[in-house]
């Protein structure tokens, strides 16, 4: 599947609302003498000591109209640039601009927020999300995806030292960290996949999917990272491409995911038998269940191929095999299988087609299997039953139809000796060259 990841736009759920708008944080209480009513149940322990500052913040906070709230917050930040509530106000302003659909101001406010508070999780998460979404929409995809990954990497580092904001419950803080981690790791991972940094892609995308195995925006890239990575992780990759097909059920992409997954499964397993079981497992489990595995196809050895060619065959059946198949058994088969073939064809006149490599009036060196024709290597030495007339002398490199009787052979390098050689016309029945190994 040759797909430009950043151009592959998936229909997915929108950005988590909890990250689009900051909670409406309120100061612990109004200083004595203020006229504004203090909140009944304060959400934070931050204190504004100046009554005018407190009133300005509360007034902006209580606005229901987005434009009025934006005006109030902007005025508050301008008048009180060092307020204890500055970070909360910027988060709320960022979310309100998002609510109003003013993307330019959203980005501008994020930069103001991150300039003052470089490790702010909501600001880092929102810009990471927006940059990735812009890339996936096809706008400067390489640049926006790279920038999303840069902000995502900053976010991953910020999470390591993040402390719970005052007044936030443990459950809400854990939720915030989980939501932002998904965004950060997803952006880092998909950019790493695009740049073929497979180790980073597999690690970051798996972290994102472990936190939310229902987000196809990360499940599908993880499948690609696992299946196409160096080294690949085919078993998990097959599960996650099946998972992507399950999550995309009912959309145009579902058939594409399933077709790609089935082809990769067949390539790894050797057949498509069992692929429906993988689909069922991916539908029933958000992540690979304990013990999930896919058996890897191990091609049969030449000796095994040789045995399969002749088992249960009669001498009459063996005579019907091609020269390339005889060659495979006689060069790679067990002694018992070699004897089975040789006893069937030794001393029997055979008609075939071959390529002439070297010719004289009484002897021809020819190649009858496609492998040896390609290598220009003789596998038959044919002694003629008489002298070839000059006008019938085969041309080296040309095709020859002949009859000959096998008398002996060497297994490695393979060479069969034939006598009583005779040239045939094109109308004569013969066996055209095939590869010595079936399926080539």
Q: Are residues 288 and 325 in the same domain?
A: no
Q: Are residues 176 and 258 in the same domain?
A: no
Q: Are residues 194 and 237 in the same domain?
A: no
For residue 436, being part of any structural domain is answered with no
Spatial CA neighbour of 361 closest among 329, 404, 392, 317:
392
Q: Are residues 313 and 294 in the same domain?
A: no
Indicate which CATH number applies to the domain containing 363.
Answer: 2.40.50.110
According to DSSP, the β-strands at 399-410 and 415-423 are antiparallel
The predicted structure's pLDDT at residue 28: 56
Q: Which letter does DSSP use for residue 411 in this model?
A: T
Rounded to whole angstroms, the Cα distance separating 181 from 81 reads 30
Q: Are residues 147 and 116 in the same domain?
A: yes
Q: Within 286-347, where are the H helices?
A: 302-310, 315-319, 323-332, 335-345
Q: Are residues 263 and 144 in the same domain?
A: no
Is the whole-model pTM more than 0.75?
no
Rounded to whole angstroms, the Cα distance separating 203 from 218 reads 12
192's enclosing H/E stretch is helix 170-194
Q: Which of 268, 298, 328 is the last residue of a domain?
A: 298
163: containing domain: 5-212
The predicted structure's pLDDT at residue 289: 96
For residue 429, being part of any structural domain is answered with no
For residue 440, being part of any structural domain is answered with no
Indicate which CATH number applies to the domain containing 172.
Answer: 1.25.40.10
The predicted structure's pLDDT at residue 305: 93
The predicted structure's pLDDT at residue 226: 97
The predicted structure's pLDDT at residue 19: 42
For residue 335, being part of any structural domain is answered with yes
For residue 103, being part of any structural domain is answered with yes
- CB of 423 within 8 A of CB of 394? yes
Q: Are residues 251 and 390 in the same domain?
A: no
Q: Are residues 189 and 41 in the same domain?
A: yes
Q: Are residues 323 and 293 in the same domain?
A: no
Q: CB count, 10 Å around CB of 297?
A: 11
For residue 226, being part of any structural domain is answered with no
- CB of 216 within 8 A of CB of 286? no
For residue 224, being part of any structural domain is answered with no
Q: Are residues 282 and 333 in the same domain?
A: no
The predicted structure's pLDDT at residue 41: 35
Residues (pLDDT < 50) of the chain are: 1-23, 30-44, 439-440
Residue 258: asked if its preceding bond is cis (omega within 30°), the reply is no
Q: Are residues 250 and 182 in the same domain?
A: no
Backbone angles phi, psi at 249, to 5 degrees: -50, 130
Paired strand residues for 356: 366
Q: Are residues 402 and 383 in the same domain?
A: yes
Quote the number of domains for the chain.
3
For residue 219, being part of any structural domain is answered with no
């Amino acid at each position: 599947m040759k797909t430009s990841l950043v151009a592959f736009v998936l229909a997915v759920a929108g950005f988590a609302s909890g990250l689009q708008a900051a909670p409406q944080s309120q100061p612990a209480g109004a200083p004595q003498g203020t006229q504004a009513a203090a909140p009944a149940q304060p959400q934070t322990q931050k204190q504004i000591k100046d009554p005018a500052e407190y009133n300005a913040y509360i007034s902006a906070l209580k606005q229901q109209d987005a434009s009025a709230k934006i005006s109030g917050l902007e005025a508050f930040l301008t008048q009180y640039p060092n307020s204890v509530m500055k970070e909360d106000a910027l988060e709320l302003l960022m979310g309100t601009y998002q609510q109003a659909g003013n993307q330019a101001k959203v980005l501008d406010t994020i930069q103001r927020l991150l300039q003052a508070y470089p490790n702010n999780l909501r600001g880092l998460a929102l810009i990471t999300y927006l940059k990735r979404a812009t890339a996936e929409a096809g706008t400067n995809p390489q640049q926006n995806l790279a920038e999303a990954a840069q902000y995502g990497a900053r976010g991953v580092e910020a999470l390591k030292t993040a402390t719970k904001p005052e007044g936030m419950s443990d459950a809400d803080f854990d939720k915030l960290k989980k939501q932002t981690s998904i965004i950060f790791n997803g952006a880092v991972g998909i950019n790493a996949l695009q740049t073929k940094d497979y180790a980073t892609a597999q690690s970051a995308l798996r972290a994102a999917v472990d936190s939310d195995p229902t987000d196809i925006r990360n499940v599908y890239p993880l499948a690609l990272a696992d299946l196409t990575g160096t080294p690949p992780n085919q078993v998990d990759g097959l599960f996650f491409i099946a998972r992507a097909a399950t999550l995309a059920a009912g959309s145009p992409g579902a058939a594409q995911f399933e077709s790609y997954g089935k082809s990769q499964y067949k390539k790894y397993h050797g057949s498509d038998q069992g692929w429906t079981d993988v689909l069922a497992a991916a539908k029933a489990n958000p992540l690979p269940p304990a013990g999930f595995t896919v058996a890897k196809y191990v091609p049969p050895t030449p000796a095994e191929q040789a045995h399969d060619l002749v088992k249960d065959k009669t001498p009459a059946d063996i005579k019907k095999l091609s020269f390339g198949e005889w060659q495979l058994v006689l060069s790679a088969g067990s002694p018992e299988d070699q004897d089975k073939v040789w006893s069937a064809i030794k001393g029997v006149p055979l008609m075939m087609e071959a390529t002439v490599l070297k010719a004289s009036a009484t002897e021809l060196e020819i190649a009858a299997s496609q492998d040896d024709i390609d290598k220009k290597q003789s596998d038959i030495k044919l002694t003629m039953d008489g002298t070839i007339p000059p006008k019938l002398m085969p041309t080296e490199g040309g095709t020859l139809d002949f009859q000959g009787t096998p008398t002996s052979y060497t297994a490695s390098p393979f060479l069969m000796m034939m006598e009583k050689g005779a040239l045939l016309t094109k109308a004569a029945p013969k066996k055209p060259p095939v590869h010595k190994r079936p399926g080539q």
